[in-house]
Amino acid sequence: MAETARPTHPLSTAQAWEFTAERAPETIFFFDFDGVLSPVTDDPDASQPAAAVPGVLEQLAAAVRRVAIVSARPVSFLRSRFASLERVDLYGLYGLEVWHEGQVVTEPAALPWVPAMEDLAERARAELPSAILVEFKRLSVALHYRTAPQLAAQVEQWGHEQAERLGLKIQAGRMVVELKPPVDQDKGMVITEGVRDAACAWYFGDDMSDIKAFDALRAREAVDPAFFGMAVAVANPETGTEVSNAADLTLDSPEAVAEFLTDGLKVMR
């Protein structure tokens, strides 16, 4: 297929897929998990990918250079949901953990913080109202107030106090406050590194941490006119407006993401 000039943003969905199809061997697709590949649930442990997602990701991985999931979840959780996928890389805990070619690699600078995170989770369960779901992720602690939104201010204040006391980073999200080690790693850094030698990349996200990934695509475009990035938001009632405003296009749900990819694969064949 003849080479075409790089389109400018915004562009139609059809143009984006056509441009991607021309560069499929040099294209990478990145996805957040919660809210993008899986509906958000009150109990994080109950989250499952939308029915069509695993199959379409496997097809996509066969059509492009690389597919990766970049999530706040631990790699162990992602593996439990996508054990059948052989060609999809997994980035857990904002990139502090990576599953690649059958191995888990953990950022060495984060490992000494495991005991502190465990102690923090115990402290949260003791000091916060029982309605707050405390999720211990080995290298981070997430405080979910989805079932008790009236406690948001209390959770946020407690989280900021602990972050200051222990020297931790804090990440706000969809009805959650997450505390993590003071290690320089986030989704934007994962994407910056991941697209260094790519000609095209897509990122699908729904939360505030995903905007850094969108920004990483924009930054790559700014320094490499030959690179093309697409930022896709998934609508939601909590952070949807801010994330959509930072994206090139918005889809309605994880099910819509699977349908969108299925349609795109038809263009790429």
Residues forming the active site: 32
Sign of the alpha-carbon torsion through 192, 193, 199, 201: negative
- Separation CA 71–CA 257 (nearest Å): 16
Under 8 Å between Cβ of 129 and 154: yes
Q: Which of 10, 69, 71, 73 is nearest to 231 (CA)?
A: 10
Sign of the alpha-carbon torsion through 103, 232, 50, 142: positive
Phi (first) and psi of residue 175, to 5 degrees: 60, 35
Amino acid code (one letter) for 207: D
Radius of gyration (C-alpha) of the chain in whole angstroms: 19
Q: Which of 119, 164, 159 is nearest to 143 (CA)?
A: 159
DSSP state of 7: P
- Separation CA 72–CA 206 (nearest Å): 12
- DSSP states along 33-59: SBTTTB---SSGGG----TTHHHHHHH
**Of all helices (H) and strands (E), which one includes residue 122?**
helix 114-127
At residue 65, the 3 state secondary structure works out as: coil
